[in-house]
Amino acid sequence: MNLAVTVAEIRHFLREQFPQTSIEVESVDAQGAWVRQAIGHAHLRPGGTVSGPTMMATADCAAYVVLLSRIGLVPLAVTTQLSINFLRKPAADRDIRAHASLLKLGKRLAVAEIRLYSEGGEAPVAHAVATYAIPPR
């Protein structure tokens, strides 16, 4: 699959469209996209671990980035479904990195699989599947 846009274009688009996010796009290639959420106090929860909503937001962003990389900078692609399994306790002092790849890219629906890791860890801390509705072009 060819990429529809460069990683620089995606970064610029996210900064404009989602100025409040602190998730960074690391890389995008034919296999998928990597994003990173730096973890600070606001992302933690009791037990010294990263909160579920932080991981859900990172998974959703990773899926959006891989989708944009294939269909171009379409602001109105929206998540219709997201399912996440929390597998292991993430480290409180490490960034969360997420890798998303596309299971399906149809005309109307795309489905992405996302794996989340604490930086440096080999086993995923969470696994998600997200569906996006693609507006008619």
Chain positions contacting a second copy, by CB under 8 A: 17-18, 20, 41-42, 45-47, 51-53, 56-57, 60, 75-76, 78-88, 103-104, 108-109, 111, 113, 123-124, 127, 129, 131, 133
Tell me the three state secondary structure of residue 130. Answer: strand
Query: How far apart are the C-alpha atoms of 67 and 63, rounded to whole Å?
Result: 6
Write out the two tokens for 74: 């379409």
CB of 34 to a second copy, least distance (A): 18
Instruction: DSSP letter for 49, please.
Output: E
CB of 129 to a second copy, least distance (A): 6
Nearest to 67 by CA among 137, 4, 136: 4
For a second copy, the closer of residues 2 and 85 by Cβ is 85
CB of 83 to a second copy, least distance (A): 4
